[in-house]
Structure 1
């Protein structure tokens, strides 16, 4: 091999080695690698009186579809309509698309930027109309330029990673909205059915008290009862009649709330399902607590935010390293259209620059400290979200058992109050007691019946709350 050949071969090897070094450096990414915070979930959820739920993972309530949990056709219809039209769900979907576009914007920084342009000045016109215009162009150019900042330290890759994790946080936020929406619709529907039952109880009470007031007036007119008994009977009657417009107001306002969830104007909503306030099953499978880390969308959202914060630490660290910028431009020019693309008129030049921060007044160090503190904040937020999920499930399990006990005792109270009222009315009709006893027992009965409906409502909602706490409804 000649000397010239050896020089050429050496130059080629150096060029290849330089290219490998460049590619290797471009593949370097500074910053910490994400590691999920260590947490030891309890073996089972705490239930009532410190009892532990079964750790059987089969048929967990959170893995079932909402249509398998809420079986009333009316309720299924409104949930289905809400999932199709709800404003909050649509807003959450738009935020996902916005975050996806932001990923595209951020990722574009890693690619070369190419631009093309041209100029044209003046015109070369003849002195008379008889002259032929050879070219209207007096001066013109056409240029192509490019610029690129190689991502040696992974600055753009970390920024893209952070943007992508923020997008995933929005995806999980959308699913969290879906879980919350199913809960809101089911809760509002159960509240409507409880108000319907309270209105029914109140109307029956009004009818009974109106009959009692009429009887007392007849007794007073016959001289068998004092006027005070009439006034006490009227007091009972008007106490019940006052409740009717208040309950009707709550019903209509809850209907408006439901219509908003359906993205509809205020109006009437059907709520006639007879078993909406039925108690939930005694045995509610929950699975093991560790499943919540994968099933609950708010936990996944918190971890996505933590991943984004971890990537931002890498962004802050990459700012300490030198940045290389490469730009090149080429073009052609001339004073006629024919000479505009003449190869002899071309111009080509390139520029490379290297910048290394030396003194920023603590800005870079402050950015790094800030990103590290924000990551620590996201770690705490992630752990809090997990433990909040454990609390939500435990609270729902405790409520399911305690509300069952409360409802059973309230049913006994209602039965006793009904019997006491019956006996008091019979004693009053026979003249064995004053109307004050009737007033007292009747008031206690009315209050007990309304409280029973409230407890039945709360007990029915324990199933809704447990289902939401387990992260059900979004799959």
Structure 2
């Protein structure tokens, strides 16, 4: 039996070598030309950006400096269900690729069996009934296709490209998750700062209202001044309640995207420290870096898979050769199964040549080619969408510095205006209405400054994500 096993292995190796050396009808792959300019609009190259590392090479642990934010992102990577599904999809694609690759080799199996037959006397030549038995033990393979025209190899290539694309999909999901967690954390930081400002403003206006109430009771101010002070007080009170609700909602949103509860010590206290934790990126980057984005790589792998499928569709026009072979032992008695002279073998080659398929094969090839064209368009669309994401982030980045400078200057100006109005009101030079108007102006300017600072931080996250960073 050992000799039989050796012969089967030798035959299987020879068939596999023949298969791997077969011709391939897969069209030569050419990456489509990117339908975008070579440089981004609003990108300003600098000496620093020329030597700065690309975003795709910067790990998220290196980009986000705040230790608490890094811990929150790590929690999300461990617990987020969408990312877990993406990882399981990779395992499934890897298993499917293994199944498809196994078709390149014959499936060898050992079989053993017995058959018994009783022939009645009126059908027997001797006139007596008889029972015949046959025992067999074989080793071989069935319906193994010799891949002369690359059909099986094309399907194996398609499965491989699909598997690689699934891995890129997981990386893309991780980038999106990292950015989503960072943005949720930053929004919570901004709303906590707005809440602190609203509460501080409420306390200040409460003191101002109490003072105005006492002045009104003494007949020093009018009822209009009192009601205007109360209007500002209730506005700050409403804002404090609204931002309290937003902070709670932000915490719930952060817990959802993380996939688990976030410890209180990992939450931000305000936006100042949060902004300091998000690094700057160079603006002058060529558009070719888009090819490093996992979603672009995924679209290209899908294109390669569709290209390989054309090879399988083309191979279907050619003859297919399948082999069934076995070697073993057969005997009419169980104790003689492995005795000398009991060796048995079978070899059944089969060739199939398609003659009339009513256009099925041509239609299958047309479908494969059209799908390839669809994937080309999807690949180009993915590049265009990625280009726009980067361009939009750079366009916003180009004006954020000026916006921040203007908003800070506005807060300083309104603060001085409030001080002057307060002094003039206390000196009896100005009306209470002007003082209240200066208070409203200062409060609004401080809220707008928080919004612009949040936009600055989220823009850095968006640019990091758009340039393909965050999956390492």
**TM-score for both structures, normalised by structure 1:** 0.83
> Which of 433, 436, 442 is equivalent to 2:433?
436
Deviation at 1:53, TM superposition (A): 6.4
1:113 is paired with a residue whose SS is coil
For 1:146, the equivalent position in structure 2 comes to 141
RMSD: 3.1
> Which of 202, 205, 222 is equivalent to 2:201?
205
For 2:233, the equivalent position in structure 1 comes to 237
For 2:356, the equivalent position in structure 1 comes to 359
For 1:47, the equivalent position in structure 2 comes to 42
Distance 2:404 2:289 in 1: 31
| Larger mean Cα displacement after TM superposition, 35-44 or 193-202 | 35-44
Matches within 5 A, 1:202-351: 202-265=198-261, 268=264, 269-272=266-269, 274-278=272-276, 284=282, 286-293=284-291, 295-330=292-327, 332-334=329-331, 336-342=333-339, 347-351=344-348
**Cα pair 2:32 2:376 within 8 Å, conserved:** yes
Deviation at 1:150, TM superposition (A): 0.4
Matches within 5 A, 1:169-184: 169-184=165-180
| Larger mean Cα displacement after TM superposition, 210-219 or 247-256 | 247-256
1:320 is paired with a residue whose SS is coil
Q: State the Cα deviation string for residues 192-242 of structure 1 (Å, max 9, x = none).
A: 221121111111110111011111211111122233332222221111111
Does 2:407 align with 1:419? no
Distance 1:25 1:258 in 2: 52
Deviation at 1:153, TM superposition (A): 0.7
Deviation at 1:304, TM superposition (A): 0.9
**Cα pair 1:279 1:459 within 8 Å, conserved:** no
**Structure-2 change in CA distance of 1:155 and 1:57 (3 Å):** farther
Q: State the Cα deviation string for residues 271-313 of structure 1 (Å, max 9, x = none).
A: 13743234978872544322332x2222211111111111011
**Structure-2 change in CA distance of 1:68 and 1:347 (3 Å):** closer
Deviation at 1:432, TM superposition (A): 4.7
Deviation at 1:332, TM superposition (A): 4.6
Q: State the Cα deviation string for residues 306-353 of structure 1 (Å, max 9, x = none).
A: 111110111111111111112134565556431344555665333222
Distance 1:69 1:25 in 2: 46
For 1:67, the equivalent position in structure 2 comes to 61
**Cα pair 1:322 1:357 within 8 Å, conserved:** yes
For 2:25, the equivalent position in structure 1 comes to 30
**Structure-2 change in CA distance of 1:281 and 1:266 (3 Å):** closer
Distance 2:74 2:279 in 1: 24
Distance 2:301 2:400 in 1: 37
Distance 2:293 2:403 in 1: 30
**Cα pair 2:136 2:331 within 8 Å, conserved:** no
1:142 is paired with a residue whose SS is strand
Gaps of 5+ in 1: 1-18, 123-136
Gaps of 5+ in 2: 1-13, 117-130
| Larger mean Cα displacement after TM superposition, 423-432 or 447-456 | 423-432
Distance 1:28 1:305 in 2: 23
Does 2:188 align with 1:188? no
| Larger mean Cα displacement after TM superposition, 53-62 or 73-82 | 53-62
| Larger mean Cα displacement after TM superposition, 278-287 or 419-428 | 278-287
**Structure-2 change in CA distance of 1:308 and 1:222 (3 Å):** same
Distance 1:76 1:93 in 2: 21
Distance 2:48 2:425 in 1: 59
Matches within 5 A, 1:118-133: 118-120=112-114
Number of matched pairs: 440
Q: State the Cα deviation string for residues 107-163 of structure 1 (Å, max 9, x = none).
A: 1222223333334578xxxxxxxxxxxxxx984533434221101110010000010
For 2:447, the equivalent position in structure 1 comes to 450
Deviation at 1:469, TM superposition (A): 1.7
**Cα pair 1:397 1:466 within 8 Å, conserved:** yes
Distance 1:112 1:281 in 2: 55
**TM-score for both structures, normalised by structure 2:** 0.83
